[in-house]
Amino acid sequence: MVDLNTRTEAIRLVAFDVDGVFSDGRIYYNSQGVETKAFHVHDGLGVQLLKKAGIITAIITGRQSAIVTKRMDELGIDYVYQACQDKWFTLQQLQKSLNIAAHQVAYMGDDLPDLACMQSVGLALAPANAHSRIRTAAHYVTRASAGDGAVREACDFILTVQQKLASLTAFFEVSDA
């Protein structure tokens, strides 16, 4: 059995679901029927740190949303797949196109449509408030809930194990010089 650190050290691609991972899973509609969601700013920096570390990022979500398009564009997510009826197939195609093996992929999901992806990757991640079946399938469950910094926690975990977080965040610290 592969230990958690060994799994994490190999990661080159991190794919995320959106609703219930980046957001708290709630979908709001205003009086004109326009959808809104809330995204935690800490999650955004976590994704940007992954990218600075050379890790490829992807979104694979079952819903189509202009808000998701806008937010993921702001974050510079490398690959965004919306309205995916078969997330596992999409992930497999992405891995194939990038020539990345399954053990080099992390996937963060929160509910049953994410299960096949989580079972097929090297590192399965879930927020604290994910469905119980998903938490059981995960190699790492965050302490934070979805929409409340869970993505950032997962990103920091990966970068810490890969010994990249300290150098990436040193930029934000006051220099003694």
Confidence band of 127 (pLDDT split at 50, 70, 90): very high
∠78-113-8 over CA atoms, to 5°? Answer: 55
Q: Are 116 and 134 in contact (CB under 8 A)?
A: no
pLDDT at 176: 65
Q: The pTM is what?
A: 0.94
177: pLDDT strictly greater than 70: no
pLDDT at 16: 98
Distance of CA 168 to the CA centre of its chain: 18
DSSP state of 170: G
Distance of CA 42 to the CA centre of its chain: 13
49: pLDDT strictly greater than 90: yes
By percentage, how much of the chain surpasses pLDDT 70?
Answer: 98
137: pLDDT strictly greater than 70: yes
Greatest Cα pair distance in the chain = 55
Tell me the average pLDDT of the chain. Answer: 95
Amino acid in the structure at residue 109 = G
9: pLDDT strictly greater than 60: yes
What are the chain's domains?
A: 4-170 (3.40.50.1000)
Phi and psi of 123, rounded to 5°? Answer: -135, 110
Confidence band of 174 (pLDDT split at 50, 70, 90): confident
135: pLDDT strictly greater than 90: yes
Q: Are 16 and 110 in contact (CB under 8 A)?
A: no
Q: For residue range 31-47, what is the model confidence (pLDDT) as tens digits?
A: 998 888 899 999 999 99
